[in-house]
Amino acid sequence: MATAIYVRVSTDEQAKKGFSIPAQLEDCRAKAREERVDNEIIEYIDDGITGSILERPSLEKLRNDIRQGIIDTVIVLDPDRLARGTSILLILTEEIEKYCKLMFVNSDYNKTPEGMLFYQLKGIVSEFERAKTRERSMRGIKQKMKLGKIVRGNNLYGYNFNKETDMFDINDEEAEIVRLIFNKFVHPDPCISGPNMIARWLNEQSIPTKKRVGKWHRSVVRRILCNSAYKGEFIQNKTDWNGIVRGRDRITPKQKDPSEWVVVNIPAIIDPAIFEIAQDKIQVSRRLYAGLNKHKYLLSGLCRCSECDRPMRGKKVSRKNKVDYYYYCKCDVEGSQWGCGKSIRCSDIDDIVWNQISQLLNDPDCIEDTNILEDNILDTGYEREIKRLEKELSKIEQMKSRLFELLSTPELVEDVRKKLIDVTEKQTKLLSELECLKKEQSDFDSYQLRKDRLKEVLKVATEYYYGKRMGLGIDEKQHLVRLIVKEIRISSYTDVEIITY
């Protein structure tokens, strides 16, 4: 068993007030010596992380080690180093004391009614201090904004941030690319038009991004086109991050009322008139181009490649004087992952699917006499997903065996232990998914249930079919297919899996 020392500092300002990492470590070590701790000491350090959240790297590692029985004592300088909010402080205290002993250097913490009252009061005071600190900090930030200083979002393509003046200076090389993007969008040529094609062209020309890594994506080009900073108006205080924890998941901050925005004038790269033309084109682009394909695809949005599990999109292919249409497993969005390149002629797949649908619509009772259910038209995909999960679990077992063998290597113990925790968590999650999936399969894997469910869908679809039968165009057929079919998985011309609702 080991003794843990946990230290935390969130800002340089706290370090100036005496909460520096080395000072905390020294005081905690002295406390360990005073308590005559003679076992191994493990230090957990969160540098530059607020105490108002639970998601802290070293704290999460400490909590995992405590749960695994590695730690028997935890030493912290002060309760506000452990947490800055009463609720989080109480959660952590209860969790730690469930497994081991908790000690503070600057607080005589006793688990008595008086001790708990004092402990909670300290948490409330710390929370109040944090709120006041944030208020003073935000007041100073807003004052800097009103003085025309840049305080946030200083990594802007086309500019360099000048730390001495807190202002943007134009980066001539990047600014030329910004002008080129606007020019190609406002005055498109036949080969390059729209954010996606501009992003593709930038990648083909090997033009680097701001961070000099990765590829240009259409969303990046679109953000540049929509950013008023390029016409000389940099907007600050636009979003509210208060109460939002920046974790691993993608999050969207709340947008403040426009009356709270602060506009700072910066050197313009784009003429305001050109910028406004670009905004007009962006506003009407969806209305102008949505649904205007000359060829309508019957199975649009339904086809998926069974090999690489990516969507298959319609594409026109011209060979000499002949034009064909294909469902194509290849992503045309610049910056996205490419598919496997499979292509299937639309007319062939359309006929296969429509023949199945029309057979059911003309004679819904044919379900009793045919093997259409066994032909996977109602395949829920449970077997495929269960096999995938079982395969993943088998790989995890093999990986754990290899990791346990590596535990005998002293220099790798720390890394191996961390990897084992991650792998075990993943295994637990997959086992839970597998159990739920098998339960769903047992509930749904009844022939009569599946047949009744299909009949209910067919009843609605058949009423529509007979109502439109005299003039059934591509739009009506597409509507019927989408009523019945959830997804079509394509492997080849002879291997088409139709999945219904």
Residues with a catalytic annotation lie at 10
Give the whole-angstrom CA distance, residue 185 versus residue 459: 49
**Are 414 and 44 a contacting pair, CB within 8 Å?**
no
What does the alpha-carbon distance between residue 176 and residue 259 come to, in Å, rounded to a whole number?
33
d(CA 2, CA 36): 13
CA pair distance 423, 390, nearest whole angstrom: 15
CB-based contact 62:71 (threshold 8 Å): yes
Tell me how far apart the alpha carbons of residues 461 and 481 are, in angstroms, rounded to a whole number: 9
Q: Are 31 and 73 in contact (CB under 8 A)?
A: no
Q: Which residues of 130-143 are buried (b: 16+ CB within 10 A; e: fewer)?
A: beeeeeeeeeebee
Please state, as a whole number, how many other Cβ atoms lie within 10 Å of the Cβ of residue 431: 13
Q: Where are the alpha helices (DSSP H) in 100-188?
A: 113-146, 172-186
Cα angle: 306, vertex 307, 311; to 5 degrees: 60
Burial class for 199, CB neighbours closer than 10 Å (0-12, 13-18, 19+): buried
Residues 6+ apart with CB under 8 A from 152: 141, 236
Cβ contact 223:198 at 8 Å: no
How many Å apart are CA 418 and CA 404, to the nearest integer?
Answer: 12
CB pairs under 8 A, 24+ apart, for 156-165? 156/227, 156/229, 156/234, 157/209, 157/210, 157/224, 158/230, 158/269, 159/229, 159/266, 159/267
* Euclidean distance between CA atoms 36 and 109, whole angstroms: 18
With CA atoms as reference, report the closest residue to 5 among 35, 34, 45.
45
What's the CA gap between 66 and 72, in Å, rounded? 7
**Closest by alpha carbon to 392, among 433, 452, 420, 363?**
433
